[in-house]
Amino acid sequence: MNGPIGLLGGSFDPIHNGHLALARAALNRLRLAEVRFIPAARAWQKPPLTDAHHRVRMIELAVRGESGFALDTQEIKRGGVTYMIDTLRALRKTAGADTSLVLIVGSDQLVRFNTWRDWHAIIDLAHIAVTRRAAEPLALNGELTAFFEPLRAEPKVLFSSAAGALVEFDMPPEPISSTAIRALLRLSLDDARLAQMIPPAVLDYIRSHHFYA
């Protein structure tokens, strides 16, 4: 069995230090072989503001020199509205039945998990690794609690099975959001704060193309 592969999807509009911190925490604490950043062509929940090739370029700049990080553009190439279930089905075909796939999500995503397309089937294709913000307990509704409770496991399960478990991992709080970043960029305010939120190469790229202004 190959080492577990972490999957981090999103619009990445723009990618920021919170995304990178989440990926590093998952990589190190779950002992993943790698974390793949998977930018959406057009996320069904929130259409991106920036063209796909620019969002891809910003990810390339953000992960450059980071060991264990990779970029997967399959959703961009596929085009159209993006659903994670389609991506996982495609990945399972290429990775094989025995490779451990680990979908990395935040607690804010897990509490809305039953709004995702074919959400019951996702666990048959991958494990789910969730991190809690500020060590808050997971506040799942009754349907999600009943679904996930029997699936809870320790992270070592990622090395013995290809899919089917919910694991948790900790990370330092990172109160950063793409929405807040876009607001600061739109107002051209607080460059010092932006420098703490976005990798320097990404911020330079945004400034040079006048994104979000």
Q: What is the pLDDT of residue 42?
A: 82
E strands within 120-163? Answer: 127-131
Q: How far apart are CA 145 and CA 134, in angstroms?
A: 20
Residues 6+ away with beta carbon under 8 Å from 207: none
Q: Residues in the chain, how many?
A: 213
pLDDT at position 177, please? 86
pLDDT tens-digit map of 79-101: 888 899 999 999 999 999 999 99
What interhelical angle do 52-63 and 17-29 show, nearest 10?
50
Query: Phi and psi (nearest 5°) for 10?
Result: 160, 175
Average pLDDT of every residue of the chain: 91
Query: Which amino acid, 181?
Result: I
Q: Give CA angle at 29 (134, 85), nearest 5°.
A: 85
What is residue 45's predicted lDDT score, i.e. its pLDDT?
A: 66
Q: What pLDDT sits at residue 117?
A: 95
- Residue closest to 55 by CA, chosen among 8, 14, 9, 7: 14
Residue 1: pLDDT over 60 = no
pTM listed for this prediction:
0.93
Cis peptide before 48 (omega within 30 of 0): no
The answer to whether 171 and 141 are in contact (CB under 8 A) is no
CATH superfamily of 5-174: HUPs (3.40.50.620)
- In this predicted structure, what is the pLDDT of residue 124? 98
Cα–Cα nearest to 155, from 211, 88, 102, 94: 102
pLDDT of residue 16: 95
Question: Residue 44 and residue 42: Cα distance in Å, rounded?
Answer: 6
3-state secondary structure 170-213: CCCCCCCCHHHHHHHHHHCCCHHHHHHHCCHHHHHHHHHHCCCC
Tell whether the model's pLDDT for residue 154 goes beyond 60: yes
pLDDT digit string (tens) for 8-49? 999 999 999 999 999 999 999 999 999 999 999 887 666 667
